[in-house]
Amino acid sequence: MLRDPISDMHSEAWWMRALDGELSGAEERAWQAHLAQCLSCRQEWAALTHMEALLRTAPPPPVLPADFTARTVTAITQKQRLRSLLRFLVGFMLLALTIWMGLGYCNIALGELIQTVGMVVSSRQILFAALMRTLVGLALTVKTFLPLIVGIAAALFLLLAPNSVLATVAMVRFAQKRQARSATA
CB of 38 to Zn ion, least distance (A): 3
Q: Is residue 61 left, alpha or beta, with left meaning phi > 0 and alpha meaning psi from -120 to 50?
A: beta
User: Is residue 17 packed enough to be buried (19+ CB in 10 Å), middle (13-18) or exposed (0-12)?
Assistant: middle
18 versus 41: smaller Cβ distance to Zn ion: 41
CB of 14 to Zn ion, least distance (A): 10
CB of 8 to Zn ion, least distance (A): 10
d(CA 24, CA 70): 49
Binding mask 21-40 for Zn ion (x = CB under 5 A): -----------------x--
d(CA 105, CA 110): 7
Task: Give, as ranges, the residues between 41 and 100 that touch Zn ion (CB under 5 A).
Answer: 41
Verify binding: residue 18, Zn ion, rule CB under 5 A: no
Contact positions toward Zn ion, by CB under 5 A?
38, 41
